[in-house]
Amino acid sequence: MNMASPTTPLPAAGTAANAATAAGTAANVASPATAPDTASPARALLRRRRAWKPAEFLFWGAALLAPLALPRSMLLMNEIAILGLFALSLDLILGYAGIVSLGHAAFLGVGAYAAGLFALNVSADPLAGLVVAMLAASVLGFLTSFLVLRGTDLTRLMVTLGVALLLFEAANSWRSLTGGADGLQGIAMDPVLGLFDFDLKGRTAYFYSLAVLFLLFLAARRMMGSPFGLSLRALRDNRLRASASGVGVNGRLVLVYTLAAAYAGAAGGLLAQTTQFVSLDVLEFHRSADLMLVLIIGGTGWLYGGLIGAVLFELFQDVVSAATPQYWQFWVGLLLVVFVSGGREAVHKAGAALRQRVAALFGGRRP
Amino acid sequence: MLTILFDGVAYGMLLFILASGLAVTLGLMNFVNLAHGSFAMAGGYVTVVLMQRYGMGFLATLPVAFLVPALIGAVLERTLYRPLYDKSHLDQVLFSIGLVFMSVAAVDYFMGSQQQLVHVPSWLQGRFDVAGVGIGRYRSFVIAVCIVIAVLLQFVLTRTRFGSQLRAAVDDQRVARGLGIEVGTLFTLTFAIGSGLAGLGGALGAEMLGLDPTFPLKFMIYFLIVVTVGGRAGLIGPFLAALLIGVADVAGKYYLPQAGAFIIYAVMILVLLIRPQGLFAAAR
């Protein structure tokens, strides 16, 4: 098990894998009709874990009410919601399935370009554009998922990075379609659902992005709390053991990779629609690298990690880039270095008690 | 046609010198160091500063361009890199990306974001004709230097006590330590030499590849391709891969300019799919 995800409580990993494989096999082998007795304890356990915790209501309530407190920073909040969705997508494959990726921006970029081109050439309806973005990204995700099944972590890092670079070069060269370095300009969106017009202050943008984030989050929460999600964790913890207990490896990895690509495509689509602009920047390497930092800040392997990481990252970026706009990357780099070289352990040790309490409230993981 | 081939070989040789340090740290020591390009950039900027501010000759700056990155490499290895040797690849990647971002921003801050020009001495400028083929003087100089370094490296790695100790330490640290080999010192020294060679490559390549603060990001993928495609067993694989990539890239940019770097990335993905262990290495 090479991919030691930073915030997974290690002592629990073994038991989690056991529970997960048990649940997975129960779901695979025992249909309710033939053996309801072996299936029901696992199902009951799953249902208990899926119950909503109070802090979760608090979190989403705060997200909904935030514009009341800070009506001027709704553009920033929109960015946070989109980054949160993007981070959620990476967490699905990195935190839950243990697939490392350095090229997640590929899916964000494809989603953004798909949504932008759809709005320019076909229809300016936001929801239809969002579906197109998700479809386009998931097609790419499905095709490239076969590339990440083989090899070691290192090959995966290289291949995902290579795919993202390939797309960047393609978007750069194919000027007639993507506008090259100028990007897609003049995207004008219709009102959401025909009711809510996009405004300059970003109010519609924020609530639109938040609604999409919330719905996709609900779907992810349900999926990761299902036998499928548990079997993914079993794969992450010990691939050999999982496949020995009857969990099909490749099919699940292809599925979750495609799913994560669709999520990233949705984030890209939202980005294109709410900023009404798509440039090569959506495919840049730093997007993928920043995303890693978001997940490191928030923690991998629980769905709120990406969201909380996105909030902290954007606030940090807002403060620092206001002070030194040109050298903002330096501080990102410093954070990465400090986090990996021991800062993470220090932070976690100091906040362990607090984190356990918070995590228990969110129901994300058990100490 | 032959001129393109020649330019490609020169480019490939340069890539090999730049990536040779990575071939050892990533290929042999199994540490994913994306910040390798930062050391190359450091070497390039050492040459620029020495030439512009202190009026030194180009050749005289080359040893300094080796020593300064080597020193930085040694210090960083001792302090920051060492604790990460047994961490996951992902942690190593994140850490070294962090270093890249820091070095890019820091160089931008101190030196400005513009392209730096390196004036090579006049006897290295221009080109001469051999049987109707135009051959750049500077490129022949680079090829000559790189051949010497490549031969020297291969000799050190396979024929000297240092080389066999290094290979032993890489194969099995515990046993090597048990046999009285100073693994820590060995790794520091190796890392320093690798960083120094990158610096030398950066200084030599400033005229051909250009030099600005985004150098480490622009060439990171090339170094990684050299090592992963070449295979991680020794230096011969990366050497051949570097030549292949150099020729392919120069030819591709000449004949199919609109394809850009497309071909190189596609080839890398294909190679990694078919032979995840690299072209020139046995499976292990």
Confidence grade of residue A12 (pLDDT, cut at 50, 70, 90): very low
Tokens for A224? 């990761």
Residue A2: band (very low, low, confident or very high) from pLDDT cuts 50, 70, 90: very low
- The answer to whether residue B224 is domain-embedded is no
pLDDT of residue A33: 44
pLDDT value at position B31?
A: 84
Of the candidate ranges A98-107, A267-276, B268-277, the one whose mean pLDDT is the lowest: B268-277
Taking an 8 Å cut-off on Cβ atoms, the answer to whether B228 and A152 are in contact is: no
Provide the shortest C-alpha distance from residue B121 to chain A (in Å): 35
pLDDT on residue B68: 93
Arithmetic mean of pLDDT, A43-69: 79
Task: Give B213 to chain A, closest Cα distance, Å.
Answer: 12
Give the three-state DSSP class for B226: helix
ipTM of the modeled complex: 0.79
Residues in B touching A292 (Cβ below 8 Å): 94, 97
Average confidence score pLDDT of chain A: 79
Residue B89 to residue A100, Cβ atoms within 8 A:
yes
Which chain A residues are closer than 8 Å to B28 by Cβ? Answer: none
Alpha carbons A322 and A70: distance in angstroms, whole number: 18
For residue B91, being part of any structural domain is answered with yes
Contacts (Cβ under 8 Å, ≥6 apart) of B107: B41, B45, B213
Nearest-angstrom CA–CA distance, A257 and A247: 17
A86 pLDDT band, cuts 50/70/90, is very high
Is residue A27 scored above 70 in pLDDT? no
Banded model confidence at residue A263, pLDDT cuts 50, 70, 90: very high
| d(CA A304, nearest CA chain B) in Å | 21
- In the predicted structure, residue A4 carries a pLDDT above the cut 50: no
Residue numbers in B near A327 (CB within 8 A): 105, 108-109
Q: Which domain holds residue B39?
A: 2-213
Query: Is A292 within 8 Å of B97 when comparing Cβ atoms?
Result: yes
* Model pLDDT, residue A344: 66
Residue A236 predicted with pLDDT over 70: yes
Task: List the single residue in A155, A166, A332 with the smallest CB-CB distance to B276.
Answer: A155
Looking at per-residue pLDDT, the higher value among A150 and B37 belongs to: B37
Q: Which among A2, A169, A335 is the nearest to B89, CB-wise? A: A2
CB contact under 8 A, B95 and A337: yes
Question: Residue A357's pLDDT is what?
Answer: 64
Q: Which of B22, B88, B101 to mutate to test the interface with A (most CBs of A within 10 A)?
A: B101
**Does residue A163 have a pLDDT over 50?**
yes
Which residues of chain B have a CB within 8 Å of the CB of A301? none
Residue B261 covered by a domain:
no
pTM here is: 0.80
Taking CB atoms and an 8 Å cutoff, what residues of chain B touch A173?
A: 258-260, 262
Alpha carbons A250 and A231: distance in angstroms, whole number: 12
pLDDT of residue A257: 92
Identify whether B272 is part of a domain.
no
Question: Nearest CB to B94: which of A154, A329, A340?
Answer: A340
For residue B23, being part of any structural domain is answered with yes
For chains A and B, count residue pairs whose Cβ atoms are closer than 8 Å.
126
Residue A108: what pLDDT? 93
Ordered alpha helix ranges (H), A186-284:
203-224, 227-237, 239-244, 249-275
Exposed e or buried b per residue across B101-126, where buried means at least 16 C-beta atoms within 10 angstroms of its C-beta: bbbbbbbbeebeeeebebebeeebee
* Cα distance between residue B32 and residue B227, in whole Å: 11
State the helix-helix crossing angle for A74-91 and A285-298, rounded to 10 degrees. Answer: 80
The DSSP bridge partners found for residue B130 are B133
Residues B99, A173: C-beta atoms closer than 8 Å: no
Q: Is residue B144 one of the residues assigned to a domain?
A: yes
Residue B266 token pair: 């596609």
Q: Which residues, other chains included, contact A103 with Cβ-Cβ below 8 Å and sequence gap of 6+?
A: A159, A160, A161, A162, A163, A164, A165, A288
Max mean pLDDT range (A115-129, A250-264, B116-130): A250-264
Tokens 């300009």 locate to A185
Question: Helix, strand or coil for residue A122?
Answer: coil
Q: Mean pLDDT per segment of 10 residues, for chain B of length 284 residues?
A: 82 88 81 88 90 82 90 90 83 87 88 79 72 76 88 87 85 85 87 90 85 85 84 80 86 75 78 76 51
Residue B174 placed within a domain? yes
Above 90 in pLDDT, residue A139?
Answer: yes
Chain B positions touching chain A (beta carbons under 8 Å): 32, 80, 83-84, 87-91, 93-95, 97-106, 108-109, 217, 221, 224, 228, 258-262, 265-266, 268-269, 272-273, 276
> Average pLDDT in the A288-293 region?
86
Closest-CA distance of chain A to residue B284, Å? 12
Is the pLDDT higher at B70 or at A300? B70
With a cut of 60, say whether residue A177 has pLDDT above it. yes
Q: Is residue B193 in a domain?
A: yes
- Residues A137-143 have a mean pLDDT of 93
Which of A46-50, A182-186, B196-200, B269-273 ranks highest by mean pLDDT? B196-200
Are B94 and A336 inside 8 Å of each other by CB?
A: yes
A2 vs B88: CB contact, 8 Å cut-off? yes
If you write DSSP's letter for every residue of B110-163 in order, what string do you get?
HH-SSPPP----GGGSSEEEETTEEEEHHHHHHHHHHHHHHHHHHHHHHHSHHH
Question: And the tokens for A214?
Answer: 């919330």
Overall number of domains in chain B: 1
Residue B83, min C-alpha distance to chain A (Å): 7
Tokens standing for B162? 């240092």
Enclosing H/E stretch for A161: helix A153-173
Percent of chain A scored above 70 by pLDDT?
Answer: 83
What SS3 class is residue A196? strand
Q: Do A340 and B32 touch (CB under 8 A)?
A: no
Q: Quote the CA–CA distance of B19 and B160 in Å, as a whole number.
A: 22
Helical spans, DSSP H, in B231-275: 236-255, 262-274
